[in-house]
């Protein structure tokens, strides 16, 4: 294979490196990058030290997965954004909200509460949890949790979830996004994307190429990484809450079938994984199979078999899930 050698570009570099120009006051300025570094090394060193100190003091670990990431957004801003989003969703779907006494609302609340009790939110009385089921037949199957404990489930996802273990899979995935503060993490990366955009634009001069690079090389992989992390954290949380982690595989199989069927109905094709914000369902299933041993360990540590059998000796340090004010 032909490989370009560095010496082939030397004449070009030499030509650029030693060029000079005259300013209006007739002083000669060299564009040699080595001269620039030599003349400004103190400022550059200060900038590098400042940036490193800033990044190090704003690093944060995601719960359960322990992934290290940059976090610039505080809890208060996150709560504020969650509150705004909540008002918007309520005003959009107020005609379709099922009442609190509806059996499906009670079911979602019961399962959500059991997962919250084993999540990083357990015991946090400052969160005003609200759970809503939206009965809109036209809406695509979905569920989401907004910062500040606002849970929305579209009734169209319930048949895909199937049993309680399946619903726990979806709810724990959504709660995992909140536990890992993925909204705040995405917002923290916005300045980095902007800087990358500016640098790329100055090189390519093309806005389209620039947004394609930033989206496909930075934003989409970051989004897929957070989705995969939510799958992992969710699987561990649902296992701690004594749901069956095997059911997670069946949920994503049903989700894949639904995606394929709807793509067929719409005459379109599912976007390939590298252009999608979510990992392909087959990738998800492979990951979950890989994580199942950890999920079984989480169930064992939570003494789920003893709880299921209804056998709870008094010396076990277990107490019924406490009410966190969800209902
Ligand atoms: Zn997700």
Q: Which of 18-27, 232-241, 308-317 has the highest mean pLDDT?
A: 232-241
pLDDT recorded at residue 33: 63
Question: Is 128 a domain residue?
Answer: yes
Cα 227 to averaged position of ligand 1 atoms, centre (Å): 5
- Minimum mean pLDDT among 116-125, 195-204, 264-273: which range? 264-273
Question: Is 173 a domain residue?
Answer: yes
Question: Is 94 a domain residue?
Answer: yes
Question: Is 313 a domain residue?
Answer: no
Closest CA to 62 of 286, 193, 232: 232
Question: Is 100 a domain residue?
Answer: yes
Give the number of domains in the chain: 1
Who contacts 287 (Cβ-Cβ below 8 Å, separation ≥6)? 228, 231, 232, 279
Tell me what the mean pLDDT of segment 186-207 comes to: 74
Q: Which residue has the higher pLDDT, 249 or 81?
A: 249
Cα 201 to averaged position of ligand 1 atoms, centre (Å): 31
Question: Is 248 a domain residue?
Answer: yes
Cα 277 to averaged position of ligand 1 atoms, centre (Å): 9
Cα 12 to averaged position of ligand 1 atoms, centre (Å): 49
pLDDT, tens only, 4-16:
444 444 444 444 4
pLDDT recorded at residue 68: 81
CA angle 204, 54, 176 (to 5 degrees): 85
pLDDT recorded at residue 45: 79
- Minimum mean pLDDT among 23-32, 118-127, 166-175, 238-247: which range? 23-32
pLDDT recorded at residue 28: 55
The residues annotated as belonging to the active site are 174
Cα 297 to averaged position of ligand 1 atoms, centre (Å): 24
Question: Is 31 a domain residue?
Answer: no
Give the domain extent around 177.
Answer: 69-303
Q: Which residue has the higher pLDDT, 259 or 241?
A: 241
pLDDT, tens only, 312-323:
443 333 333 333
What does pLDDT average to over the chain?
77
Closest CA to 126 of 153, 105, 147: 147
pLDDT recorded at residue 312: 42
Tell me what the mean pLDDT of segment 155-168 comes to: 94
CA–CA gap between residue 29 and residue 186 (Å, rounded): 41
Question: Is 207 a domain residue?
Answer: yes
């Amino acid at each position: 294979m032909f490989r370009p050698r560095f010496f082939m570009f030397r004449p070009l570099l030499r030509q650029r490196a030693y060029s000079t120009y005259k300013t209006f006051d007739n002083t000669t300025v060299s564009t040699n990058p080595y001269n620039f570094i030599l003349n400004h090394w103190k400022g550059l060193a200060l900038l590098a030290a400042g940036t490193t100190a800033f990044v190090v003091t704003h690093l944060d670990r995601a719960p359960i997965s322990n992934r290290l990431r940059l976090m610039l957004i505080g809890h208060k801003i996150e709560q504020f954004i969650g509150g705004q989003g909540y008002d918007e969703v309520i005003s959009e779907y107020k005609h379709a909200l099922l009442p609190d006494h509806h059996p499906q609302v009670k079911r979602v609340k019961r399962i959500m509460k059991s997962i919250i009790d084993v999540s990083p939110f357990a015991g946090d009385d400052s969160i005003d949890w609200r759970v809503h089921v939206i009965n809109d037949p036209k809406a695509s199957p979905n569920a989401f949790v907004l910062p500040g404990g606002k849970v929305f489930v579209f009734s169209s996802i319930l048949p895909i979830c199937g049993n309680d273990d399946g619903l726990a899979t979806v709810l724990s995935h959504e709660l995992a996004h909140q536990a890992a503060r993925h909204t705040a993490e995405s917002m923290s990366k916005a300045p980095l994307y902007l800087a990358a955009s500016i640098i790329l634009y100055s090189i390519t001069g093309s806005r389209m190429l620039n947004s394609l690079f930033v989206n496909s090389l930075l934003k989409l992989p970051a989004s897929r990484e957070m989705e995969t992390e939510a799958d992992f954290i969710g699987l561990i949380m649902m296992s701690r809450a004594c749901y069956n982690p095997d059911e997670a595989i069946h949920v994503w199989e049903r989700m894949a079938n639904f995606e394929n069927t709807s793509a067929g109905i719409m005459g379109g094709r599912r976007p390939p994984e590298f252009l999608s914000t979510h990992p392909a369902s087959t990738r998800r299933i492979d990951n979950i199979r890989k994580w199942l041993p950890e999920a079984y360990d989480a169930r064992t540590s939570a003494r789920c078999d003893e709880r299921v059998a209804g056998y709870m000796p008094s010396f076990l340090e277990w107490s019924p899930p406490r009410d966190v004010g969800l209902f």
